[in-house]
Amino acid sequence: MADKVKLIIEMPSAVMPEMEANAVIIPAVAGDVTILSERAPSVFALNYGLVQLLDANLKPTAKYYISSGVADVAQGVIKLMTGRVLKADEITKSEAEAKAQDDVFYQMIVDRMNNKTEKYC
């Protein structure tokens, strides 16, 4: 796995800086998909879930919670379009629980922190 894959996360109000990883796991509606640089061009519908950037040993280096969206994969670049994104280490379980009552995005975060993998689409 010599080449890295690039990840670009776009939201309606902003585009996050481009990131690189050896592999990226995305929460596709049909199930989590690991994207490598050699992957054939693909388009995925995304569920609420966790995007994980992986190093050469396939260990997570960064994690992002996202709302549903679409991922377009071509030539080693993942363009992920979503309504919301939050870096996993920027929220605690108690903060997510406080916001979860009225917001399915934060309920998904609480469920993920409790190792539940509900579908939200």
Q: 80, 4 in Cβ contact below 8 A? A: no
Chain centroid to Cα 116, Å, comes to 16
Average pLDDT, the chain: 92
Q: At a CB cut-off of 8 Å and minimum separation 6, what does 20 contact? A: 4, 5, 6, 7
How does residue 8 score in pLDDT terms, banded at 50, 70 and 90?
very high
- Hey, what are 70's tokens? 């679409």
Q: Where exactly are the structural domains of the chain?
A: 5-87
| pTM of the model as a whole | 0.90
CATH 3.40.50.2000 correct for 5-87: no
Closest alpha carbon to 51 in 12, 19, 97, 74: 19
Quick one: pLDDT at residue 115? 86
Quick one: pLDDT at residue 1? 45
